[in-house]
């Protein structure tokens, strides 16, 4: 079929190193952000979220940083493992004022080198 959009950027990381995946979002009014992980042959899975009144949130081995000044979001994965190999999507949502529609970023393909 006809492809729409850009091919995903890729990131290769050595097993055990930390990974940083970056995302620029478009809507300055977005107030909620989510990172999703999509493994091959599966649908995206929720990893971690952050509200616009925060600039950092930590989960298990993952940290999300939000910089509203430059509309930038990052996902940090500590001690990257082979199971972290996947495509990672950031998503933004203007929940309070819009009709609750999530906008997905283009995604980054993470490859973990054993």
Partner 1 sequence: EADIYQTPRYLVIGTGKKITLECSQTMGHDKMYWYQQDPGMELHLIHYSYGVNSTEKGDLSSESTVSRIRTEHFPLTLESARPSHTSQYLCASGSGLYGYTFGSGTRLTVV
Residue with smaller CB distance to partner 1, 2 or 69: 2
Q: Which stretch binds partner 1 (CB under 8 A): 12-20, 32-40, 56-64, 70-78?
A: 32-40
Residue with smaller CB distance to partner 1, 41 or 114: 41
The least distance separating partner 1 from the CB of residue 16, rounded to whole angstroms, comes to 26
Residue where the block lists tokens 């952050």: 50
Footprint on residues 75-114 left by partner 1 (CB under 8 A): 87, 89, 93, 95, 99-102, 104-107, 109
Footprint on residues 41-80 left by partner 1 (CB under 8 A): 41-46, 49
DSSP 8-class letter at 7: P
Q: In what order do the strands lie in the sheet with 62-67?
A: 19-24, 72-77, 62-67, 56-58
* 62-97 b/e (C-beta count within 10 Å ≥ 16 → b): bbbbbebeeeebebbbeebeeebbbbbbbbbbbeee
- 25 near partner 1 (CB under 8 A): no
């Amino acid at each position: 079929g006809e492809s729409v959009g850009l091919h995903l950027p890729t990131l290769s990381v050595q097993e055990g190193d930390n990974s940083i995946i970056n995302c620029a979002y478009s809507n300055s009014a977005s107030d909620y952000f989510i990172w999703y992980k999509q493994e091959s042959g599966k649908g995206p899975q929720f990893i971690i979220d952050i509200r616009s009144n925060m600039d950092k949130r930590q989960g298990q081995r993952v940290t999300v940083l939000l910089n509203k000044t430059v509309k930038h979001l990052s996902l940090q994965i500590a001690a990257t493992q082979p199971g972290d190999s996947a495509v990672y999507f950031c998503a933004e949502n203007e929940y309070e004022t819009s009709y609750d529609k999530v906008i997905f970023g283009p995604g980054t393909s993470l490859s973990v080198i054993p």
